[in-house]
Amino acid sequence: MRRGIAVSPGVAVGTAYCIHTILVDPERSRLEAEDVAAELDAYQSAREKTIADLRAMQSKVERQLGHQEAAIFAVHEAILRDRDFTQKVQTWIVEERFTAAASLQRLLEHYSYLFAHTHDSYLRERLNDVRDVIQRLSAHLNAQTVPRMPSLSGPLILVADEFLPSHAVAIGTTDVRGIVTQTGSRTSHAAIIARGRGIPAVSGVSGILKHVKTGDTIIVDGREGQVIVNPDAEVKSAFRKLEREFFLLKDQLAANRDQPARTVDGVELELLSNINGVTDAEAAVAMGAAAVGLFRTEYLYLTHPSIPSEEEQFEAYCRIIDASPGRRVTIRTLDIGGDKTVPYFGHHHQEANPFLGWRSIRLSFEHPEFFNTQIRAILRAAAYARQHDGHVKLMFPMITTIEEIHRLRAMMRRVKQRLRRARKPVADVPTGIMIEVPAAAVSIRSMLPLVDFVSIGSNDLIQYLMAADRDNPKVSHLCQPIAPAVLRVLTDVISACKEMDKPVTLCGEMAGQPSSFVLLLGMGLRSFSMSPPLVPSIKDLTRNISVQQAERILEHALKLKTTSQIKRYLTEQLRRISPNIEMLETA
Catalytic residues: 189, 507
First-to-last C-alpha distance (Å) of the chain: 16
C-alpha to C-alpha distance for 495 and 499, rounded to whole angstroms: 6
**Contact (CB, 8 A) for 375 and 411:** yes
Other Cβ atoms within 10 Å of 244 Cβ, number: 12
Backbone angles phi, psi at 334, to 5 degrees: -50, 130
Other Cβ atoms within 10 Å of 79 Cβ, number: 16
Q: How far is CA 324 from the centre of its chain?
A: 18
**Contact (CB, 8 A) for 143 and 60:** no
- Beta strand 176-181 pairing with 270-275: unpaired
C-alpha to C-alpha distance for 136 and 79, rounded to whole angstroms: 12
Buried b (16+ CB within 10 A) or exposed e, 407-422: ebeebbeebbeebeee
- Beta strand 217-221 pairing with 11-19: antiparallel
| Cβ partners under 8 Å of residue 503, min gap 6 | 432, 452, 453, 454, 497, 527
SS3 for 318-368, per residue?
HHHHHHCHHHEEEEECCCCECCECCHHHCCCCCCCCHHHCCCHHHHHHHCH
C-alpha to C-alpha distance for 343 and 296, rounded to whole angstroms: 19
Indicate the burial class of 27 (C-beta count within 10 angstroms; 0-12, 13-18, 19 or more).
Answer: exposed
Other Cβ atoms within 10 Å of 8 Cβ, number: 27
